[in-house]
Amino acid sequence: MSHEIFNPKYIAVEGVIGVGKTTFSKMLSECIDAELLQEEVFENPFLVDFYKNQKRFAFSCQMYFLISRFQQQQQLMVRDLFAERIVADYLFSKDSIFASINLSDRELTLYNKVAPTLSQNIPKPDLAIYLQASTYTLTKRIQKRNYSFEKTIGADYIEVLNKAYDYFFFNYTDTPLLVVKTDEIDFVNNPEHFEDLIEQISKPITGKKYYSPSGHLAGK
């Protein structure tokens, strides 16, 4: 199905672990014939150890993600973003969310000496999409997908992360933002839900807008 009225050339999809951002990013990129830029999650050699011992491996895991994301974004900087469409399953600036909740004070101080330098001149998306869900929904989705390294993730950590994401995007002003409440949306198994969401994205978005399953789109 063609969506010729779709305007943004570079879209970043975000959300807490288990919300479905990678799946949706793939579906969106195929729908609009865009290149998919995926976060290197499974390539992080510290990730499994982090979920087993967050305090010990938080800084190593965090710095690997920061550097790998930076390297990906550098590749975008040398490409013609106006000549092709790109859908990314992460927003570079969200890296600070995990740093703020996982790192010790000393580690965060060191992180904050490095991250701002790397973030300079990083290309900003034309549209950011925040897929939002309750902690209960996120926990159920994580259990359903049954990744072995995620079995040690507790609901308490998801709750803290969820609140941190909400706070981040409540104050987010870098680009136009569409916030999508996904608790009642099944864009994988319900084509109507996916098409309705694509329709919302194809509408002009300035500032911050919210989408709910009822089809209501509210501005802020």
Kindly report which listed range (52-56, 57-61, 200-204) carries the lowest average pLDDT score: 200-204
Please give the share of the chain, as a percent, with pLDDT higher than 70: 90
Q: Whole-angstrom Cα distance, residue 167 to residue 32?
A: 30
Mean pLDDT rounded to a whole number for the chain: 86
pLDDT number for residue 78: 66
pLDDT digits (tens, 9 = 90+) for 85-132: 899 999 999 999 999 999 999 999 999 999 999 988 888 899 999 999
pLDDT number for residue 79: 63
Q: Is 57 left (phi over 0), alpha (psi -120 to 50) or beta?
A: alpha
pLDDT number for residue 4: 45
Structure tokens at 169: 């995007």
b/e per residue, 50-81, with b = 16+ CB within 10 A?
A: bbeeeeebbbbbbbbbbeebbebbeebeeeee
The residue among 43, 41, 48, 135 whose CA lies nearest residue 88 is 41
Higher-confidence residue: 151 or 89? 89
Using pLDDT thresholds of 50, 70 and 90, give the confidence band for residue 213: low
136, pLDDT greater than 90? yes
Phi, psi of 41 (to 5 degrees): -85, -55
Estimate the share of the chain in helix, then strand, then coil, as percent rounded to the nearest 5.
50, 15, 35
Range with the largest mean pLDDT of 75-84, 92-101, 205-214 = 92-101
pLDDT number for residue 219: 47
Helix (H, G, I), strand (E, B) or coil at 51: helix
Average pLDDT score over residue span 29-33: 91
Kindly report which listed range (19-28, 91-100, 161-170, 209-218) carries the lowest average pLDDT score: 209-218
Q: Whole-angstrom Cα distance, residue 174 to residue 87?
A: 17
Q: Which of 33, 80, 89, 95 is catalytic?
A: 89
Structure tokens at 212: 């709910």
pLDDT number for residue 182: 92
CB-count burial class (<10 Å; 0-12, 13-18, 19+) for 43 = exposed
Average pLDDT score over residue span 2-19: 78
Residue 33 annotated among the catalytic residues of the structure: no
For residue 208, give every residue at least 6 positions away whose Cβ sits within 8 Å of its Cβ, in sequence order, or none.
Answer: 172, 176, 177, 179, 219, 220
Q: Whole-angstrom Cα distance, residue 68 to residue 63?
A: 8
All structural domains of the chain, each given as residue ranges with its CATH number in brackets, are 10-219 (3.40.50.300)
Task: Give the global pTM.
Answer: 0.87
